């Protein structure tokens, strides 16, 4: 009952807020794109990724290599089972603490969340390695 | 009057294939009362839908702040302050939510070493001025961390305490574009001992 009331109240408050102040943007795709970008940026930091190795070292290629890295990461993320992708998004996009993720997803303890995250990082490093993106962390 | 529809009792939980979760599904998922198959379906949706995931994450966080005695029965005298609190949290919430989380006993993690390992920003990385995020690995038995930021000359710029291992610095702190800074994390353990990270530098993008 309490949970239901909190969800309902939050929806009403958001609705009232948007009626008064409007949505931040009319572009329906803006929020998901921002969230996806943020997840990729934070994962790229966490995994300590290098740009894909190329023979040229020209400055003008930097944006292309950056987008190759994000493409590779996007593909690797798309291959993850929903529950694993959810753990990553809750951690990196929603900023939930390990304890909160444990409670929500039914992990026995925060330690189990950390362990799953580390396993996911290793899996992602492996998937990215197969796509030619290297991580500084072995 | 449209809001009355939201409060109308439903016929019961159902997993619908339409764009967003019903209130009952969201609440049941948060409470952990769904059958396995329904839970799997909802997680599949949450993995793809930012709106529903944000709702579930935010609601779960709010519910965790309620007094334990609320249990399944919410006294009506709490409804108005709760609604007001939710409205404030929804309207004013900004990324530094982590600082509101009660200290959690963090066990295991990547290292029990006496030194805290920094994760992000990577050493000498360039960060975007608006939203640098500091991340480090937890240490065992920690009860809190302090992030210290200094400028390139060693003068203190900012320090803040946080319970978890991620900090997004407040908007009030302005890091200057093109400048270099140094940061470190000090950790406090339950037994009173402390641990520190190495100092690492980063630059703010122009």
- Looking at residue B78, its pLDDT comes to 64
Q: Are B164 and A98 an interchain contact pair (Cβ–Cβ within 8 Å)?
A: yes
Residue A122 has pLDDT above 70, yes or no: yes
Distance from CA of B199 to the nearest CA of A (A): 18
Q: Nearest residue on chain A to B21, judged by CA atoms? A: A7
| Chain A hits for B79, Cβ within 8 Å | 5
- Looking at residue B135, its pLDDT comes to 86
The CA–CA distances, whole Å, from B40 to A68, B32, B89 equal 32, 12, 29
Closest Cβ–Cβ partner in B6, B133, B138 for A12: B6
Q: Are A11 and B55 an interchain contact pair (Cβ–Cβ within 8 Å)?
A: yes
- Looking at residue B4, its pLDDT comes to 39
| Chain A hits for B168, Cβ within 8 Å | 95
Whole-model pTM over 0.80? no
d(CA A21, CA A39): 27
Closest Cβ–Cβ partner in A6, A16, A45 for B62: A6
Closest Cβ–Cβ partner in B31, B133, B163 for A42: B133
Q: Which residue has the higher pLDDT, A135 or B53?
A: B53
Buried b (16+ CB within 10 A) or exposed e, B116-134: bebbbbbeeeebeeeebbb
pLDDT in tens, B37-67: 999 999 999 999 999 999 999 999 888 887 7
Q: Nearest residue on chain B to A88, judged by CA atoms? A: B47
DSSP 8-state class, residue A101:
H
The CA–CA distances, whole Å, from A103 to A15, A114, B5, B162 equal 27, 13, 30, 20
Closest Cβ–Cβ partner in A12, A96, A98 for B57: A96
Distance from CA of B47 to the nearest CA of A (A): 5
Q: Which of B49, B90, B137, B165 to mutate to test the interface with A (most CBs of A within 10 A)?
A: B90
d(CA A124, CA A88): 11
pLDDT in tens, B156-181: 888 888 888 888 777 667 788 888 99
Distance from CA of A73 to the nearest CA of B (A): 16
Flag whether residue A122 sits within 8 Å of chain B, measured between CB atoms.
no
Dihedral angle computed from the Cα positions of residues B52, B55, B56 and B59, in that order, rounded to the nearest 10 degrees: -170
- The HSE-up count of residue B119 (CA atoms within 13 Å, CB side) is 19
Q: Are B109 and A111 an interchain contact pair (Cβ–Cβ within 8 Å)?
A: yes
Quick check: A52 and A65 in contact, CB under 8 A? Answer: yes
Q: Nearest residue on chain B to A47, judged by CA atoms? A: B119
Quick check: A90 and B53 in contact, CB under 8 A? Answer: yes
Band of residue A103 on the pLDDT scale cut at 50, 70, 90? very high
| Chain B hits for A93, Cβ within 8 Å | 50, 53
Query: So what's the ipTM on this one?
Result: 0.81
Show Cβ contacts of residue B7 under 8 Å, excluding neighbours closer than 6 positions.
A8
Flag whether residue A86 sits within 8 Å of chain B, measured between CB atoms.
yes
- Looking at residue A137, its pLDDT comes to 60
Closest Cβ–Cβ partner in A12, A100, A136 for B60: A100
Write out the E strands in B100-155.
115-116, 118-120, 125-127, 133-136, 142-151
pLDDT in tens, B10-44: 333 444 445 789 999 999 999 999 999 999 999 99
Closest Cβ–Cβ partner in B26, B73, B82 for A1: B73
């Amino acid at each position: 009952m309490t949970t239901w009331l909190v969800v309902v109240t939050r929806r009403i408050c958001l609705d009232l807020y948007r009626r008064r102040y409007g949505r931040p943007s009319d572009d329906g795709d803006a929020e998901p794109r921002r969230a996806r970008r943020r997840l990729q940026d934070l994962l790229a930091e966490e995994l300590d990724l290098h740009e894909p190795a190329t023979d040229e070292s020209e400055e003008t290629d930097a944006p292309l290599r950056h987008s190759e890295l994000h493409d590779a990461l996007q593909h690797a993320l798309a291959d993850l089972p929903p529950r694993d992708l959810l753990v990553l998004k809750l951690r990196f996009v929603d900023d939930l603490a390990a304890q909160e993720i444990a409670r929500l997803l039914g992990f026995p303890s925060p330690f189990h969340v950390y362990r799953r995250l580390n396993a996911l990082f290793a899996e992602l490093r492996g998937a990215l390695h197969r796509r030619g993106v290297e991580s500084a962390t072995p | 009057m449209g809001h009355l529809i939201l409060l109308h009792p439903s016929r019961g939980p159902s997993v619908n294939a339409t764009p967003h979760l019903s209130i009952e599904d969201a609440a049941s998922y948060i409470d952990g009362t769904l059958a396995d198959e329904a839970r799997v379906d909802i997680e599949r949706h949450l993995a793809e839908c930012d709106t529903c995931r944000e709702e579930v994450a935010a609601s779960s966080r709010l519910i965790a702040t309620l007094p334990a005695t609320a249990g399944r029965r919410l006294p009506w005298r709490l409804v108005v302050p709760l609604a007001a609190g939710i409205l404030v949290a929804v309207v004013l919430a900004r990324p530094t939510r982590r600082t509101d989380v009660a200290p959690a006993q963090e066990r295991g993690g990547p290292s029990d070493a006496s030194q805290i390992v920094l994760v992000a920003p990577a050493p000498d990385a360039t960060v975007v001025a608006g939203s640098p995020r500091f991340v480090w690995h937890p240490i065992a038995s920690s009860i809190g961390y302090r992030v210290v930021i200094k400028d390139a000359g060693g003068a203190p710029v900012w320090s803040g305490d946080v319970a978890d291992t991620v900090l997004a610095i407040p908007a009030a702190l302005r890091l200057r574009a093109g400048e270099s800074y140094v940061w470190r994390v000090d950790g406090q353990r339950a037994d009173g001992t402390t641990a520190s990270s190495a100092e690492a530098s980063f630059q703010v993008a122009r």
